[in-house]
Amino acid sequence: MLRNQVQLITYPDSLGGTISDVERFITEYLQDAIGGVHILPFYPSSADRGFAPLTHLSVDPAFGTWEDIRRISTQYDLVVDLTVNHLSYESEYFQDYLANGDGSPYASMFLEVDAFLERHEAELDSLSGLYRPHPSLPFTTFKLWDGTTKRIWTTFTNHQVDLDVESPKTRLLMQQFIDTLVANGANLIRLDAVGYTVKRPHTNSFLIPETYDFIEWLRSVTPSRVDLLAEIHHDPQKQMELLASNSVEWVYDFSLPLLVLHALQVGNCTYVRNWISIRPSTQITTLDTHDGIGVIDVQGLLPQSDIDATVSRIEHNGANAMMRANGLSADNLDIYQINTTYYSALGEDDDAYITARAIQFFIPGIPQVYYVGLLAGSNDHAAFAKTNHGRDVNRHNYTHDEIKEVIQRPVVQRLLRLMRLRSNHPAFQGDFTLKSGTEEHVLALRWEHEDVYCEATIDVQQKTVHVELVHPHTKQVEVEQY
């Protein structure tokens, strides 16, 4: 069972350069503030900051070793990624296919478009309804050893070659990946891009019934002591349906970030209150991740006019550089997400930022804090200018000297104090109540466990967080402001 405490999300090289540096950062600054660590892909990779992995059987030597991973797992819940939809075109498996064609032992692992259409007795226009994050057909033409060319399915980029997850060969390799991750201490495996895995003509090929079958298979070959987290960007009904299938233990609350931004922008928490009242509790809560802020995820929860206005205000706060990062000229364009840091999305308003985090921490679920958000980072305009990759505005790499400086900022210290409360007060192990009768700009969120409680009164208009709690040792009622 996962610890009901805050988790840190970080790249293996973003807090000093290596996995050992991540451990050092946690030891120096976060020991009493978190209970888990999500280390983003630390495997050898050719692109997309680790999400074009060559394999899951080894750690990129530039980052460290399996020993470094295991050492963190002995102290904290360890969250790792399993990229179930694709592998890098540079992987030994796909390179063998390019070298040997249908004679490769790995040929069945990849989706050759013409063969796929023939297998399903379909034409190319049967794929016109595909749901995907980029406005183009997901195919890349590769040249084989004999000079012939094949169109291969690539949902995301031409570095990321989709796997045929219904192939026995793919499933054998996937099980080897899972076994390796579990053997090295994984407590929670994040199924990256799992909604895209199974393809069928005349469908949108996103979370179709056959995809559920595949997820159930993943659950069956993963030890029961290890939980599964599905990474799904879609309307919240999809998240609820996936939880109801009992094939994963956790989904993300990707609806929360934009709902909270809207509440703080307009000084009214009606829509976020409604979401809190109906949302499942077995969610990983986020405000920020290595990707963008989801827009598609609030469909049905926020009127379209409010969605548009919220996005417009975020773009205004991010200035021209952020709008370019989300424009058609940016590489790896996201059409369902906004590329920005959460701190920048809030206009770098410290009080608004702490208010947003208080909402995240006081609702049910396990909260994750992305490393840029932990350090209240602003949009990295220089990184985007260098790479033209929109998501890089929110992927700054911190040196040790930078960390020493920014960790002392008042807003970061306020956030750390709030994280310590969320991770350590025993009330959060008990029952949650969304109190009624509050004004439209106020949320009252209460936790009770045995003889203690912790209640936050959060005003999205004034951007204040007032906490009343029973001290777990003295049993005295205390009042704190964050």
> What residues contact residue 136 under an 8 Å CB cut-off, 6+ apart?
none
Annotation marks residue 439 as catalytic = no
**8 A C-beta contact, residue 8 and residue 393:** no
Distance CA 8, CA 120 (A): 44
Distance CA 5, CA 428 (A): 9
Annotation marks residue 231 as catalytic = yes
Exactly one of 21, 81, 164, 231 is catalytic; name it: 231
| Residue indicated by tokens 């209150």 | 273
Exactly one of 60, 81, 192, 334 is catalytic; name it: 192
Angle at 235 between CA 280 and CA 303, to 5 degrees: 105
Candidates 298, 368, 389, 472; CA nearest to 30 is 368
Distance CA 219, CA 304 (A): 36
Q: Which residues is 142 bridged to in the sheet?
A: 150
Residue count (the chain):
482
Candidates 256, 190, 249; CA nearest to 9 is 190
Within a 10 A sphere around the Cβ of 19, how many other Cβ atoms?
Answer: 27
Q: Is the dihedral of CA 99, 103, 106, 108 positive or negative?
A: positive
Distance CA 443, CA 463 (A): 11
Distance CA 213, CA 166 (A): 10
Beta pairing class for 77-83 and 36-39: parallel
Strands (E), 49-119: 77-83, 86-88
Q: Active-site residue numbers?
A: 192, 231
